[in-house]
Amino acid sequence: MIFGFVFLGLGILGIILPLLPTTPFLLLASGCFVRGSEKFEAWFKGTKIYKDHLEEFVRNRAMTLRQKIIINLFADSMIAIPFILSDSTIVRIVLLLIVIYKYYYFIYRIKTVKGAKLSSE
């Protein structure tokens, strides 16, 4: 439950800060609430934040191009830190494979829709 609220807070920050992705944090919050309590799961799914930023993704597995770009840039910047700091070739190769898979997944497995089709970005 605590992690659910932490991820919810980060998701709310993502609404305000354009470089912080909203959707992944709200997905993590939703997962934590599902595992933690039916009461909190129902509460979270009834919030405006869930309905505006997550419901459409959960229902249709689709994102706007803007959402995909922001999430990938944020993830790339987080992956770049250990890539730069690591001296291990194996670690760097694994990180590159993760980045390649991440782009494959976002391009081919998650539909891209126009912003107007989503309730909100």
CA angle 53, 104, 99 (to 5 degrees): 90
Q: Which of 28, 15, 111 is nearest to 64 (CA)?
A: 111
Q: Are 11 and 25 in contact (CB under 8 A)?
A: yes
Can you give the pLDDT of all 121 residues of the chain as single tens digits? 889 899 899 888 888 876 677 888 888 898 898 888 888 889 988 998 888 878 878 888 888 888 888 888 888 988 999 999 999 999 999 999 999 999 998 899 888 988 654 444 4
Please provide the DSSP assignment of 55-85 as one string: HHHHHH-EEEHHHHHHHHHHHHHHHHHHHHH
pLDDT of residue 20: 72
CB 78 within 8 A of CB 95: no
